[in-house]
Structure 1
Amino acid sequence: MEDFIKPVDPKILWRTLNIGGTVLVSSAAEGKSDVMAAGWNSVVDFDKAMVIIDKTHYTRPLMEKGEYFALQLPLATIAPVVMNLGSVSKNDEPEKLEKSGAEFFAIPGFEALPLVKGCAAWLIFRRIPEPHNEQVYDMFIGQCVGAWSDTRVFANGHWHFETAGEDCRTLHYVSGGHFYKIGDPITVPGYDG
């Protein structure tokens, strides 16, 4: 793990996901693992989040069977990797991860989950089984049990995109290979953020 990756209090996970970026979802079960891109994700409580995973994705049964999953906020530098992980299915290409161009690492205690280098944050969740939400809405909810950030971008509970450089901005997917990078900060005086 890189020296600039440091733990973050899982209770402030909402600050990491509130920027609305595209995430990479890592999942694992029964000796299998996958990583896919997902645009539909959100905070649902201070230490809980949700992500939508369609039934057709290879990742789906891993999410249903696994105890943990990860959400990661990729940086602009790995946009081609994000597109590959989001557009190639392991159902069609069993060597998807090996051919994706992604570099992986593991967090001690969660070695089964392949985490992607080049992200601003890595959040590990314990899945909260909600069969109705999962089957009807494809919605998976988890409670954050561990969080890490790239301290060049997120430190002391706050984002620092303005000092981190253009390559250290998170991705926001539109469609057809088109992303936006998060923009410049606007601070309204008199409010503690």
Structure 2
Amino acid sequence: MSEQSPSQPIAPVSTTLARPAHVVAVDLAKAYRLINHGPTVLVSSAHGGRRNVMAAAWNMPLDFSPPKVAVVIDRNTYTRELIEASGELALCVPTRAQVDAVSQVGKTTGREQDKLAEADLSVFAGSHVGAPLVDGCVAWLECRLLNEPEMAQRYDLFLAEVVAAWADARLFDGGHWLPIDAPHSTLHHVAGGVFFTLGDLVSAKPAAEG
């Protein structure tokens, strides 16, 4: 999913909230688990008094220590422009309840509108980067870009180090996802605005010793 290319940027008008009480810090050693199941994410960015958000289906954890992530961001997007200017981004994991907003921000540009406000998405501040964290999501990764300009130019692939991680404590605890009800299920984009949602949580039997 990618946003269309635009023209004149505008200042943000979307609502900034205090960080909700149920949003708790996640040990960076376990941060990869927030996106290890392959959800579509909202990529947020901010620079020079402007901020933006887009949807990205192609993202993944990349390393444990320090934790790193990879995400594909099309060269024509305003989100990418702000990320390259600031050196920062955030990955926010949206839910089934936000599917319309996810689809909307994946198809429109933020140069001539505040996409967060247009999609009725409120945000709260992170602790380490200026990119806003989208309220109503179930997990958030604050990231700083790694210096890999060739990969970005050749493949539109951005690598970043996770410097802070957060999760909804009602759904992620002790480094593990808990059973999630339907409205809070994560989204997994197929194509054309069609998504799968997260299914049942199952555990394999422990391997036999010897």
Q: Using the aligned pairs only, state the percent identity.
A: 39
2:166 paired with 1:148: yes
Partner of 1:120: 138
**Equivalent position to 1:168, from 184, 196, 199:** 184
Q: Which residue in 2 is equivalent to 1:183?
A: 199
Matching residue of 2:13:
none
Deviation of 1:70 after TM superposition, in Å, equals 0.4
1:61 aligns with 2:81: yes
Of 104, 109, 126, 1:107 maps to: 126
Amino acid at match of 2:72: I
Structure 1 distance, partners of 2:115, 2:42, is 14
Q: What is the letter of the counterpart of residue 186 of structure 2? A: T
Q: CA deviation at 1:79?
A: 0.8
- The counterpart of 1:129, out of the listed 136, 147, 158, is 147
- Equivalence for 1:35: 53
The alignment partner of 1:134 has SS state of helix
Q: Does the residue aligned with 1:48 lie in a helix, a strand or coil?
A: strand
Higher-helix-fraction structure: 1
Rounded to whole Å, the distance in 2 between the matches of 1:95 and 1:43 is 29
**Secondary structure of the structure 2 residue equivalent to 1:136:** helix
Instruction: Kindly state the Cα deviation for residue 31 of structure 1 after the two structures are TM-superposed.
Output: 2.3
Give the residue type in structure 2 aligned to 1:178: V
* Higher mean C-alpha displacement, 98-107 vs 71-80: 98-107
How many residue pairs get matched?
187
Question: Structure 1: how far apart are the matches of 2:37 and 2:151?
Answer: 24
Q: Per-residue CA shift, 1:62-82, capped at 9, x if unaligned?
A: 111112210011011111111
Q: For 1:153, give the aligned amino acid.
A: L
TM-score (normalised: structure 2): 0.85
Matching residue's letter, 2:88:
Y
The structural deviation recorded for 1:108 is 3.8
Q: 1:118 is matched by which residue type in structure 2? A: G
Deviation at 1:109, TM superposition (A): 4.5
| TM score, norm. by length of structure 1 | 0.92
Q: Which runs of 4+ in 1 moved over 3 A?
A: none
Out of 8, 13, 17, the position equivalent to 2:35 is 17
Structure 2 gap ranges (5+): 1-18
Alignment RMSD (CA, Å): 1.3
Per-residue deviation, residues 32-57 of structure 1 (Å, max 9, x unmatched): 21111000101111110011111111
**Superposition map of 1:70-109 within 5 A:** 70-91=90-111, 93-109=112-128
The runs of 5 or more residues in structure 1 that have no matched partner are: none
In structure 2, distance between residues paired with 1:69 and 1:11: 19
